[in-house]
Amino acid sequence: MTALVEATEMVFRRPGGYALRIPSFSISAGEAVAVLGASGSGKSTLLDLVGGVVRPTSGSLSLFEQSTLDLSYRALDRLRGENVGVIFQEHNLLPFATVYQNVALGVQFSRVRRERVIAPSLSEEITRLLRAMDLDANSLMHRPAHTLSVGQRQRVAAARALLGQPPLIIADEPTSALDEGNQSRFMTLLQEARRSSGAALLFVTHDARLIDGFDQIISLDDPAPTEREDP
């Protein structure tokens, strides 16, 4: 199976700061990978590396079969725009923009991703994804994002991450602001939607209760990733 992400003995050193050692791992197409780690363990830095915002100081990182060391930051930005959907912990949406505009932002900076939109029109595709995330597209589409509940906002962000069928979704503790019932609902919807689109998921969390159903777990507290066997 093609590895979307291939990290080998990666070290990231901040100027004048600490060195973060990341265990070797790879993410294949369609795979769900959870990253577990306490605060300060380097989860966010790992996301920056996989997102191509920073490059490893040593070791190697290959994204979509291209070594990050061979790519300029401009090329890495383009690679991210084309291939990665991102869901933040919170503040995912532009509060002043409508739900439609927020979701459409997912394909705004990449022509390639825009061309991958499935439905006949962008509007129909956004409607489809919002419904996939159990949102009433008709009533929400033109509402400003700041009028949504926290749970709705996270699901809109998930719809945006899925727009244009990126092969990899990065989620940075997207459930941390949700209550338990909404956490479970969000995880179910996200997993179903990304499975149907065939996207891999790199899910960062400090909550071990959320890692059920993941194919691989990377613990940043351990020196090596833990492979999970399918039940």
β-strand partners of 224 = none
**Least distance in angstroms from the C-beta of 96 to other proteins:** 3
Tokens at residue 219, please?
């613990």
Neighbours of 174 (CB within 10 A): 28
Residue with tokens 């825009």: 114
Q: Are 89 and 153 in contact (CB under 8 A)?
A: no
Nearer CB in complex with other proteins: 30/144: 144
Tokens at residue 69, please?
């060391």
Nearer CB in complex with other proteins: 143/185: 143
**Least distance in angstroms from the C-beta of 48 to other proteins:** 5
**Least distance in angstroms from the C-beta of 226 to other proteins:** 26
Q: Are 217 and 34 in contact (CB under 8 A)?
A: yes
Interacting residues with other proteins (CB under 8 A) = 44, 47-48, 51, 53-54, 74, 77-78, 80-82, 84, 86, 88, 91-98, 101, 104-106, 108-110, 113, 172
Nearer CB in complex with other proteins: 43/219: 43
What does the alpha-carbon distance between residue 38 and residue 206 come to, in Å, rounded to a whole number?
A: 6
Nearer CB in complex with other proteins: 101/191: 101
CA-to-CA separations, 66 to 72, 76, 183, 198, in angstroms, rounded:
11, 10, 34, 20
Pairing state of beta strands 200-205 and 32-36?
parallel
Nearer CB in complex with other proteins: 1/74: 74
**Least distance in angstroms from the C-beta of 193 to other proteins:** 18
Backbone angles phi, psi at 59, to 5 degrees: 80, -170
Nearer CB in complex with other proteins: 6/173: 173
**Least distance in angstroms from the C-beta of 36 to other proteins:** 19
**Least distance in angstroms from the C-beta of 228 to other proteins:** 27
Q: Which of 27, 82, 45, 39 is nearest to 202 (CA)?
A: 27
What does the alpha-carbon distance between residue 68 and residue 133 come to, in Å, rounded to a whole number?
A: 33
